[in-house]
Chain A
Amino acid sequence: MSYTISNAWLDALVGMIVIVLLMTLVVLALIYLERKIAGRIQMRLGPMRVGPHGTLQTLADAIKLIGKEDLRPRSADRWAFELAVFAIFVPAFLAFVAIPFTREWAVSFLDLGLFYVIAVTSLSFIGFLMAGWGSDNKYALLGGLRAAAQLISYEVPMVLSLVAVAMITGSLNLSEIVEFQGRVPLFVWQPLALFIFIAASLAELERQPFDIPTAESEVVGGPFIEYSGIRWSMFFLTSYANLFIYSLLGAAVFLGGWNWPLGEEVGWGLQVALMFVKTSFFIVFLIWFRFAMPRLRIDQLMSFCWKLLIPFAFLQIFLNGLVLVYEWPDGLLFVTSAAGLALLSYIIYRTVSVAPRRVRLVPANPGRATAPAAAEAGG
């Protein structure tokens, strides 16, 4: 009696298991890393007690969270409340599928890989809305609406910056995009697009200075306020999985993934190492930002997106179009993009920098006599 499983299903199963394991391990590592970096920035040690140098702290926290009671407010919309977790978690899970870790290994080499990653990750705002609405909590509602507004707005510059890249590579397949960057990575050609990508991914990840939906000091965790235990830890896990995905995407699209600068011939070990180093660069950068910046206000957030990032993303596409259609030399791609970035930086500088203000120092109150009062006070 023969029992066969078709190869495609087996591959899919193996891929899924690998992704789940990878995601869990990476998230555990990332949380530890963030705590340690935060500790350094804040003049503390970070976790030190559980395991050597606190390495098992995240694991202990995960076990604690799993053991906690799973609360649901009585007035909550049951289905929206419980499904919101999956609406946020599944897109992050799906996005891993298209990311190439080496030349040979990705779960799937999708021809529309870039498009797929963007499409899938942008689904997560539905989860935020569901959590915000379903919790029947005003803070959660406010946070959910903030999240929806922010994620949809920043999806636009994010997509546009990646479109600019796709124009140059002529492909939406992530492997081909990485392969394109054998000699020169794309951040050299497209510095403006890289800047927009980083700014937009900070907002998509809801990290400082764009952590408005979950703002601790305003809406107290926003959509997640009513969640506890395992459900809450799923949200937590997802936010770090997303951090990893955006870093992978940035490393693959802008820093030349497993390719640049060693070239295509190196073995898979070095390719993974390259990918790791480049991803780490993004991750550390994003974590560092979180602890060094205060939060923007919602109107400032929106005007930054719609008045600066989106016009400049269109400018980048327009410039690329000009250079590519008229077949001008490639160097112009860099020159125009760098000029665009310089202009954007200048505008941001002009907007935010105001003359430093200091207080006046008054030796004594000019309007009132001090001597009689001093005598009167006694003591």
Chain B
Amino acid sequence: MVTEERELETVDLNINMGPQHPSTHGVFRMVLTIDGEVVTDVEPHIGYMHRGGEKLSENMDFRQAIGYQDRTDYLAQFLNEQAYCMAVEKLLGLEVPERSEYIRIILCELNRITSHFMFAGAFGIDLGFFGTSFTYGFREREFIQDIFEEVSGDRLMYGYFRPGGVVWDVPDNFVQRVREVLPKSKQGIKDLDLLLTDNEIFVARSRGVGVISGDDAIDWGLSGPMLRASGVAWDLRKDRSYSIYNRFDFDIPVGDYGDVYDRYLVRMEEMRQSIRIVEQALEQLPDGPILPEKMPRKLRAPASEVYAAVEGARGEYGIYVVSKGGDKPYRLKIRSPSFCNLSALKTMTVGNYVADAVAILGSVDIVLCDVDR
């Protein structure tokens, strides 16, 4: 009797990473197909945090919808509010007073710093720190968070910007408080440098991982630190100089390799540049009104469409508003940087180890509420 020889059939292992997983930064799910420890396929699933903020904004007047901007990218709220207010101002033709512009710039750049501190802390955890980098990042973030609380009265959902300016003037000691905090932030960046930047294991884990070339990055529509790490010097603050950014002297950090380590370095350098901008803005902060003199009580927009975008902490945060007249937008679309940056995940991840997949996802620095809106 002839025994039938059969080969054992093997299949690749599917791993469901998320929606509840410590390193997916929220409720994000990716189905990894792995061959041993090597990732052969990635299938991202998003939408767990979809709340329909865009649709809800259609039923609110222009001021009410500001609250929904805080709830998209909840680590860079001021930047979102700035984009939204810029879009509405463009639509209505409002002029923002000087003082409000400066206050906005200061708060936006401080917010960028807090967001990047958060990134550095969480990224350290993704690479295996047992919470140490997180507490380092969080302490520095907290100092700035206190200022935000003093200014807006809220720790998370600020709702401080208004079309035409800001809702109320900053406290009297605002300039002094910010001046006190900036050296602390500088020291915090140095501390994180000592802990992470030149740590040999950190470097070994992040260099040459998740490389994306400049051309690929443009094709995928990446923006922000992701794009600049790949060697493309594209920064909306310079290239589409909005607000009053052309009055400040600052540099764009650009990476040469486009790997995870470069993305980290670019963000660390951006924090230093943001501090430079804030220092200059504090010098120049003028007195004056915070809202235009002829501010309409009810904001009525003409039938038109506008797009306004800011260089958010994660990339280009854009608002596209279609108005058919009246006090509500006909359609409001948010171009969120996390969503576009996340789209390149598969390109970067396939062929790497499972541990690298976590590092790469961390380096994209997504906020899931921003991805799903």
A residues lining the B interface (CB < 8 Å): 38, 41-44, 138-139, 141-142, 208-209, 211-212, 215-220, 290-300, 352-354, 356-368, 370, 373-374, 376-379
A-B CB proximity, top 3 nearest:
A295-B128, A361-B251, A217-B23
Q: Which of A42, A354, A359, A365 contacts B239 (CB 8 A)?
A: A365
Q: Which of B126, B139, B207 meets A354, CB within 8 Å?
A: B207
In the complex, which of the residues A141, A211, A353, A374 has the most CB atoms of chain B within 10 Å of its own CB atom? A374
Interface residues in chain B, defined as those with a beta carbon under 8 Å from any beta carbon in chain A: 13-16, 21-23, 37, 86, 89-90, 96, 124-132, 134-136, 139, 198-205, 207, 233-235, 238-243, 246, 251-257, 261-262, 265-266, 269, 353-356, 358
Tell me which residues across on chain A come within 8 A of B354, comparing CB atoms. 142, 218-219
- Residues of chain A within 8 A (CB-CB) of B207 are 354, 357
The contact of B252 among A218, A362, A367, A378, by CB within 8 Å, is A362
**Of residues B86, B136, B238, which shows the largest number of chain A Cβ atoms within 10 Å of its Cβ?**
B238
Cβ distance B198 to chain A, nearest Cβ, rounded Å: 6
A147 to chain B, nearest CB (A): 13
- From A295, A363, A378, give the contact of B355 (CB < 8 A): A295
Q: Which residue of the partner chain, among B90, B205, B235, B238, contacts A297 with CB atoms under 8 Å? A: B205
Task: Say yes or no: A43 contacts B269, CB within 8 Å.
Answer: no
> Is B353 in contact with A138, judged by CB distance below 8 angstroms?
no
Known: A215-B128, A295-B205, A354-B207. A370 touches B89 (CB 8 A): no
Q: Is the CB of B130 within 8 A of A208?
A: yes
| Partner pick for B266 among A356, A359, A366, A367, CB 8 A cutoff | A359
Q: How far is the CA of A295 from the CA of B200 in the complex (A)?
A: 11
A218 to chain B minimum Cβ distance, whole angstroms, is 5
B40 to chain A, nearest CB (A): 15
Task: Report the bound CA distance from A41 to B266 in whole Å.
Answer: 27
Report the Cα distance A367→B218, complex, angstroms.
Answer: 15
Contact B130 A43 (CB under 8 A): no
Say yes or no: A295-B127 contact (C-beta < 8 A), given A43-B135, A364-B238: yes
- Taking CB atoms, residues of chain A closer than 8 Å to B256 are 357, 359-360
Contact, CB under 8 Å: A359 / B253: yes
A370 to B128, Cβ gap below 8 A? no
A379 touches B243 (CB 8 A): yes
Residue B233 contacts which of A38, A295, A366 (CB distance < 8 angstroms)?
Answer: A366
Report the separation of the CA atoms of residues A295 and B128 in the bound assembly, to the nearest whole angstrom: 4
CA distance A352 to B262 in the complex (A): 17
Residue of A with least CB distance to B32: A138
Given A142-B15, A217-B23, A217-B358, are A360 and B253 neighbors across the interface (CB < 8 Å)?
yes
Q: A38-B130, A357-B257, A379-B90 are in contact. List 5 more A-B contacts (CB 8 A).
A: A218-B354, A220-B22, A296-B205, A299-B37, A365-B252
